[in-house]
Amino acid sequence: MKDELSFLQQAIALAKRSIMNGGGPFGAVVARNGKIIAEANNVVVSSHDPTAHAEILAIRKASASLKSHDLSDCVIYASCEPCPMCLGAIYWSGIKRVVYAADRKNAAAAGFNDGLIYDEIILNPSERKVVFIQFSDAGGEEVFKEWDEYEGKIPY
Amino acid sequence: MKDELSFLQQAIALAKRSIMNGGGPFGAVVARNGKIIAEANNVVVSSHDPTAHAEILAIRKASASLKSHDLSDCVIYASCEPCPMCLGAIYWSGIKRVVYAADRKNAAAAGFNDGLIYDEIILNPSERKVVFIQFSDAGGEEVFKEWDEYEGKIPY
Protein backbone atom coordinates (compact mmCIF):
# COMPACT_ATOMS: atom_id res chain seq x y z
CA MET A 1 0.00 0.00 0.00
CA LYS A 2 2.95 2.30 0.70
CA ASP A 3 4.22 1.70 -2.85
CA GLU A 4 0.80 2.39 -4.30
CA LEU A 5 0.61 5.71 -2.49
CA SER A 6 4.09 6.65 -3.67
CA PHE A 7 3.19 5.79 -7.29
CA LEU A 8 0.07 7.92 -7.00
CA GLN A 9 2.08 10.75 -5.51
CA GLN A 10 4.45 10.52 -8.47
CA ALA A 11 1.43 10.89 -10.79
CA ILE A 12 0.38 13.95 -8.79
CA ALA A 13 3.89 15.40 -8.96
CA LEU A 14 3.81 14.94 -12.74
CA ALA A 15 0.49 16.77 -12.88
CA LYS A 16 1.83 19.71 -10.87
CA ARG A 17 4.99 19.93 -12.98
CA SER A 18 2.81 19.76 -16.11
CA ILE A 19 1.05 23.01 -15.18
CA MET A 20 4.32 24.91 -15.17
CA ASN A 21 5.34 23.38 -18.50
CA GLY A 22 2.26 24.37 -20.51
CA GLY A 23 0.47 21.06 -20.05
CA GLY A 24 -2.88 20.24 -18.54
CA PRO A 25 -2.98 19.46 -14.79
CA PHE A 26 -2.93 15.69 -15.09
CA GLY A 27 -0.28 13.01 -14.58
CA ALA A 28 -0.22 9.22 -14.78
CA VAL A 29 2.13 6.36 -14.08
CA VAL A 30 2.01 2.73 -15.22
CA ALA A 31 3.64 0.19 -12.93
CA ARG A 32 4.41 -3.52 -13.37
CA ASN A 33 5.71 -5.87 -10.71
CA GLY A 34 6.02 -2.95 -8.32
CA LYS A 35 8.14 -0.82 -10.66
CA ILE A 36 7.21 2.24 -12.70
CA ILE A 37 7.58 1.45 -16.42
CA ALA A 38 6.00 4.60 -17.90
CA GLU A 39 4.96 8.06 -16.80
CA ALA A 40 3.37 10.99 -18.61
CA ASN A 41 1.53 14.26 -18.20
CA ASN A 42 -1.19 15.88 -20.29
CA VAL A 43 0.20 17.71 -23.34
CA VAL A 44 -3.01 18.27 -25.34
CA VAL A 45 -2.36 21.91 -26.17
CA SER A 46 1.42 21.91 -26.51
CA SER A 47 1.53 18.79 -28.68
CA HIS A 48 -1.55 19.66 -30.77
CA ASP A 49 -3.14 16.35 -29.88
CA PRO A 50 -6.60 16.09 -28.26
CA THR A 51 -5.83 12.48 -27.30
CA ALA A 52 -2.65 13.41 -25.39
CA HIS A 53 -4.09 12.81 -21.93
CA ALA A 54 -1.66 11.58 -19.29
CA GLU A 55 -3.21 8.11 -19.12
CA ILE A 56 -3.23 7.59 -22.91
CA LEU A 57 0.41 8.61 -23.14
CA ALA A 58 1.48 6.49 -20.18
CA ILE A 59 -0.32 3.47 -21.67
CA ARG A 60 1.33 4.07 -25.07
CA LYS A 61 4.76 4.36 -23.46
CA ALA A 62 4.26 1.25 -21.33
CA SER A 63 3.10 -0.76 -24.36
CA ALA A 64 6.05 0.42 -26.42
CA SER A 65 8.39 -0.49 -23.59
CA LEU A 66 6.89 -3.98 -23.24
CA LYS A 67 6.51 -4.38 -27.03
CA SER A 68 2.94 -5.53 -26.43
CA HIS A 69 -0.53 -4.02 -26.60
CA ASP A 70 -1.42 -6.20 -23.60
CA LEU A 71 -0.87 -4.51 -20.23
CA SER A 72 -2.93 -6.95 -18.21
CA ASP A 73 -0.20 -7.31 -15.60
CA CYS A 74 0.08 -3.54 -15.11
CA VAL A 75 -1.56 -1.02 -12.77
CA ILE A 76 -2.23 2.61 -13.66
CA TYR A 77 -1.97 5.46 -11.14
CA ALA A 78 -3.60 8.73 -12.19
CA SER A 79 -3.72 12.12 -10.49
CA CYS A 80 -7.42 12.27 -11.42
CA GLU A 81 -10.16 9.80 -12.32
CA PRO A 82 -9.65 8.79 -15.97
CA CYS A 83 -12.03 10.40 -18.47
CA PRO A 84 -14.21 8.18 -20.71
CA MET A 85 -11.56 8.15 -23.48
CA CYS A 86 -8.86 7.06 -21.03
CA LEU A 87 -11.21 4.56 -19.40
CA GLY A 88 -11.71 3.02 -22.84
CA ALA A 89 -7.93 2.86 -23.36
CA ILE A 90 -7.51 1.20 -19.96
CA TYR A 91 -10.04 -1.50 -20.87
CA TRP A 92 -8.49 -2.13 -24.29
CA SER A 93 -5.04 -2.38 -22.67
CA GLY A 94 -6.25 -5.06 -20.30
CA ILE A 95 -5.16 -3.11 -17.19
CA LYS A 96 -7.16 -4.49 -14.26
CA ARG A 97 -6.44 -1.97 -11.50
CA VAL A 98 -6.79 1.81 -11.56
CA VAL A 99 -5.76 3.99 -8.60
CA TYR A 100 -6.64 7.67 -8.74
CA ALA A 101 -6.62 10.72 -6.46
CA ALA A 102 -8.99 13.52 -7.52
CA ASP A 103 -12.28 12.57 -9.15
CA ARG A 104 -14.51 13.80 -11.96
CA LYS A 105 -16.25 16.29 -9.64
CA ASN A 106 -12.94 17.92 -8.71
CA ALA A 107 -12.03 18.03 -12.42
CA ALA A 108 -15.35 19.59 -13.38
CA ALA A 109 -14.92 22.27 -10.72
CA ALA A 110 -11.59 23.12 -12.37
CA GLY A 111 -13.21 23.40 -15.80
CA PHE A 112 -12.58 19.91 -17.16
CA ASN A 113 -16.00 18.58 -17.80
CA ASP A 114 -16.15 14.92 -18.70
CA GLY A 115 -19.87 15.08 -17.91
CA LEU A 116 -21.01 15.68 -21.48
CA ILE A 117 -19.25 12.50 -22.62
CA TYR A 118 -20.71 10.41 -19.77
CA ASP A 119 -24.15 11.82 -20.64
CA GLU A 120 -23.85 11.24 -24.38
CA ILE A 121 -22.21 7.82 -24.48
CA ILE A 122 -25.28 6.10 -23.06
CA LEU A 123 -27.63 7.60 -25.65
CA ASN A 124 -28.52 6.02 -28.96
CA PRO A 125 -26.04 7.47 -31.47
CA SER A 126 -28.85 9.24 -33.33
CA GLU A 127 -29.93 11.08 -30.16
CA ARG A 128 -26.60 12.69 -29.30
CA LYS A 129 -25.65 16.38 -29.51
CA VAL A 130 -22.74 15.39 -31.73
CA VAL A 131 -24.28 14.11 -34.98
CA PHE A 132 -23.76 10.37 -35.44
CA ILE A 133 -25.04 9.04 -38.78
CA GLN A 134 -24.89 5.43 -39.89
CA PHE A 135 -24.76 4.64 -43.61
CA SER A 136 -25.73 1.04 -43.01
CA ASP A 137 -25.64 0.02 -46.68
CA ALA A 138 -22.21 1.49 -47.44
CA GLY A 139 -20.48 -1.90 -47.16
CA GLY A 140 -19.19 -1.78 -43.59
CA GLU A 141 -20.26 -5.33 -42.79
CA GLU A 142 -18.24 -6.68 -45.71
CA VAL A 143 -15.06 -5.69 -43.87
CA PHE A 144 -15.85 -8.08 -41.04
CA LYS A 145 -16.70 -10.84 -43.52
CA GLU A 146 -13.25 -10.43 -45.05
CA TRP A 147 -11.72 -10.41 -41.55
CA ASP A 148 -13.54 -13.64 -40.65
CA GLU A 149 -12.37 -15.34 -43.81
CA TYR A 150 -8.74 -14.17 -43.76
CA GLU A 151 -6.61 -16.96 -42.33
CA GLY A 152 -3.53 -14.78 -41.85
CA LYS A 153 -5.19 -12.41 -39.42
CA ILE A 154 -3.81 -11.70 -35.95
CA PRO A 155 -6.83 -11.67 -33.61
CA TYR A 156 -6.61 -9.60 -30.45
CA MET B 1 -23.91 13.44 -49.76
CA LYS B 2 -21.95 11.88 -52.60
CA ASP B 3 -18.71 13.19 -51.07
CA GLU B 4 -19.69 11.83 -47.68
CA LEU B 5 -20.30 8.39 -49.16
CA SER B 6 -16.97 8.48 -50.96
CA PHE B 7 -15.14 9.48 -47.74
CA LEU B 8 -16.85 6.63 -45.93
CA GLN B 9 -15.93 4.24 -48.71
CA GLN B 10 -12.32 5.37 -48.36
CA ALA B 11 -12.48 4.52 -44.64
CA ILE B 12 -13.87 1.09 -45.58
CA ALA B 13 -11.11 0.59 -48.17
CA LEU B 14 -8.52 1.42 -45.47
CA ALA B 15 -10.14 -1.15 -43.18
CA LYS B 16 -9.99 -3.86 -45.85
CA ARG B 17 -6.38 -3.07 -46.72
CA SER B 18 -5.56 -3.12 -42.99
CA ILE B 19 -6.56 -6.77 -42.69
CA MET B 20 -3.98 -7.80 -45.29
CA ASN B 21 -1.30 -5.71 -43.59
CA GLY B 22 -1.60 -7.21 -40.10
CA GLY B 23 -3.90 -4.50 -38.76
CA GLY B 24 -7.37 -4.70 -37.27
CA PRO B 25 -10.33 -4.39 -39.67
CA PHE B 26 -11.01 -0.72 -39.10
CA GLY B 27 -10.34 2.45 -41.06
CA ALA B 28 -11.09 6.14 -40.55
CA VAL B 29 -10.79 9.39 -42.41
CA VAL B 30 -10.95 12.98 -41.15
CA ALA B 31 -12.18 15.60 -43.62
CA ARG B 32 -12.28 19.40 -43.47
CA ASN B 33 -13.94 21.69 -45.99
CA GLY B 34 -14.75 18.69 -48.17
CA LYS B 35 -11.17 17.42 -48.32
CA ILE B 36 -9.51 14.48 -46.58
CA ILE B 37 -6.79 15.73 -44.23
CA ALA B 38 -5.96 12.47 -42.42
CA GLU B 39 -6.56 8.76 -42.78
CA ALA B 40 -5.56 5.75 -40.74
CA ASN B 41 -6.22 2.11 -40.02
CA ASN B 42 -6.08 0.09 -36.83
CA VAL B 43 -2.52 -1.01 -35.95
CA VAL B 44 -3.01 -2.12 -32.32
CA VAL B 45 -1.09 -5.37 -32.63
CA SER B 46 1.59 -4.39 -35.13
CA SER B 47 2.48 -1.12 -33.39
CA HIS B 48 2.21 -2.50 -29.82
CA ASP B 49 -0.30 0.21 -28.91
CA PRO B 50 -3.74 -0.59 -27.50
CA THR B 51 -4.85 2.98 -28.33
CA ALA B 52 -3.94 2.67 -32.02
CA HIS B 53 -7.51 2.51 -33.27
CA ALA B 54 -8.16 4.00 -36.70
CA GLU B 55 -10.14 6.97 -35.31
CA ILE B 56 -7.55 7.86 -32.65
CA LEU B 57 -4.77 7.80 -35.24
CA ALA B 58 -6.76 9.79 -37.80
CA ILE B 59 -7.58 12.41 -35.14
CA ARG B 60 -3.92 12.60 -34.09
CA LYS B 61 -2.78 13.00 -37.70
CA ALA B 62 -5.44 15.64 -38.45
CA SER B 63 -4.49 17.62 -35.34
CA ALA B 64 -0.80 17.44 -36.19
CA SER B 65 -1.56 18.60 -39.72
CA LEU B 66 -3.64 21.57 -38.48
CA LYS B 67 -1.26 22.24 -35.57
CA SER B 68 -4.28 22.40 -33.28
CA HIS B 69 -6.03 20.11 -30.82
CA ASP B 70 -9.31 21.66 -31.98
CA LEU B 71 -10.97 19.80 -34.86
CA SER B 72 -14.37 21.43 -34.48
CA ASP B 73 -14.59 22.15 -38.21
CA CYS B 74 -13.81 18.55 -39.14
CA VAL B 75 -15.94 15.46 -39.83
CA ILE B 76 -14.83 11.90 -39.15
CA TYR B 77 -15.77 8.94 -41.35
CA ALA B 78 -15.25 5.51 -39.82
CA SER B 79 -15.73 2.02 -41.26
CA CYS B 80 -17.39 1.06 -37.97
CA GLU B 81 -19.12 2.86 -35.11
CA PRO B 82 -16.41 4.36 -32.87
CA CYS B 83 -15.74 2.50 -29.62
CA PRO B 84 -16.07 4.33 -26.27
CA MET B 85 -12.38 5.32 -26.30
CA CYS B 86 -12.67 6.78 -29.80
CA LEU B 87 -15.99 8.42 -28.93
CA GLY B 88 -14.20 10.16 -26.08
CA ALA B 89 -11.43 11.30 -28.42
CA ILE B 90 -14.02 12.64 -30.87
CA TYR B 91 -15.67 14.72 -28.13
CA TRP B 92 -12.35 16.07 -26.84
CA SER B 93 -11.36 17.00 -30.42
CA GLY B 94 -14.54 19.02 -30.87
CA ILE B 95 -15.59 17.07 -33.98
CA LYS B 96 -19.34 17.56 -34.39
CA ARG B 97 -20.25 15.03 -37.09
CA VAL B 98 -19.48 11.31 -37.19
CA VAL B 99 -20.42 9.14 -40.19
CA TYR B 100 -19.97 5.41 -39.89
CA ALA B 101 -20.84 2.22 -41.77
CA ALA B 102 -20.92 -0.95 -39.63
CA ASP B 103 -22.11 -0.66 -36.04
CA ARG B 104 -21.21 -2.10 -32.64
CA LYS B 105 -23.39 -5.18 -33.25
CA ASN B 106 -21.53 -6.05 -36.45
CA ALA B 107 -18.24 -5.50 -34.61
CA ALA B 108 -19.30 -7.72 -31.71
CA ALA B 109 -20.29 -10.49 -34.13
CA ALA B 110 -16.72 -10.31 -35.50
CA GLY B 111 -15.22 -10.61 -32.00
CA PHE B 112 -14.68 -6.93 -31.17
CA ASN B 113 -16.75 -6.43 -28.09
CA ASP B 114 -17.13 -2.83 -26.98
CA GLY B 115 -20.06 -4.03 -24.85
CA LEU B 116 -18.05 -4.49 -21.66
CA ILE B 117 -16.88 -0.86 -21.80
CA TYR B 118 -20.38 0.47 -22.46
CA ASP B 119 -21.63 -1.64 -19.54
CA GLU B 120 -18.88 -0.59 -17.14
CA ILE B 121 -18.61 3.13 -17.88
CA ILE B 122 -22.04 3.86 -16.45
CA LEU B 123 -21.29 2.12 -13.16
CA ASN B 124 -19.87 3.78 -10.08
CA PRO B 125 -16.11 3.28 -10.31
CA SER B 126 -16.15 1.09 -7.20
CA GLU B 127 -18.68 -1.30 -8.79
CA ARG B 128 -16.76 -2.13 -11.94
CA LYS B 129 -15.07 -5.43 -12.90
CA VAL B 130 -11.83 -3.50 -13.38
CA VAL B 131 -10.80 -2.32 -9.91
CA PHE B 132 -11.06 1.48 -9.57
CA ILE B 133 -9.80 2.79 -6.21
CA GLN B 134 -9.79 6.42 -5.17
CA PHE B 135 -7.20 7.62 -2.64
CA SER B 136 -9.14 10.79 -1.94
CA ASP B 137 -6.69 12.18 0.58
CA ALA B 138 -3.56 11.70 -1.54
CA GLY B 139 -3.49 15.35 -2.60
CA GLY B 140 -5.22 15.17 -5.99
CA GLU B 141 -7.36 18.24 -5.37
CA GLU B 142 -4.28 20.36 -4.69
CA VAL B 143 -3.32 19.98 -8.35
CA PHE B 144 -6.46 21.79 -9.45
CA LYS B 145 -5.89 24.50 -6.85
CA GLU B 146 -2.45 25.12 -8.34
CA TRP B 147 -4.00 25.11 -11.82
CA ASP B 148 -6.62 27.66 -10.78
CA GLU B 149 -4.01 29.93 -9.28
CA TYR B 150 -1.42 29.70 -12.06
CA GLU B 151 -1.78 32.76 -14.29
CA GLY B 152 0.41 31.38 -17.07
CA LYS B 153 -1.86 28.41 -17.80
CA ILE B 154 -3.30 27.71 -21.24
CA PRO B 155 -6.92 26.66 -20.64
CA TYR B 156 -8.55 24.39 -23.20
A103-112 per-position pLDDT tens digit? 999 999 999 9
Compare A62 and A151 and report the one with higher pLDDT.
A62
B88 contact residues in A (CB cutoff 8 A): 83-88, 117, 121
Quick check: A84 and B87 CB within 8 A? yes
- Min Cα separation B76/chain A (Å): 10
- Give the residue numbers of B marked as catalytic: 55
**What global pTM score does this model have?**
0.97
At A117, is the pLDDT very low, low, confident or very high (cuts 50, 70, 90)?
Answer: very high
Q: Select from B133, B143, B153 the Cβ nearest to the Cβ of A102.
A: B143
pLDDT digits (tens, 9 = 90+) for B54-74: 999 999 999 999 999 999 999
Average pLDDT of the residues of chain B: 96
**A96 vs B130: CB contact, 8 Å cut-off?**
yes
Chain B residue numbers with beta carbons less than 8 Å from the beta carbon of A111 are 155
Residue ranges of B 66-125 with Cβ closer than 8 A to chain A: 66-71, 79-81, 83-103, 106-107, 109-111, 116-118, 120-122, 125
Strand pairing report for B35-41 and B27-32: antiparallel
Task: Provide the β-strand partners of residue A97.
Answer: A75, B131
- Ramachandran quadrant class, A34 (left: phi over 0; alpha: psi -120 to 50; beta: rest): left
Q: Is the pLDDT of residue A1 over 70?
A: no
What's the confidence (pLDDT) of residue B2? Answer: 59
| C-alpha to C-alpha distance for B102 and B88, rounded to whole angstroms | 19
Whole-angstrom distance, CA of residue A9 vs CA of residue B138: 7
- pLDDT exceeds cutoff 70 at B1: no
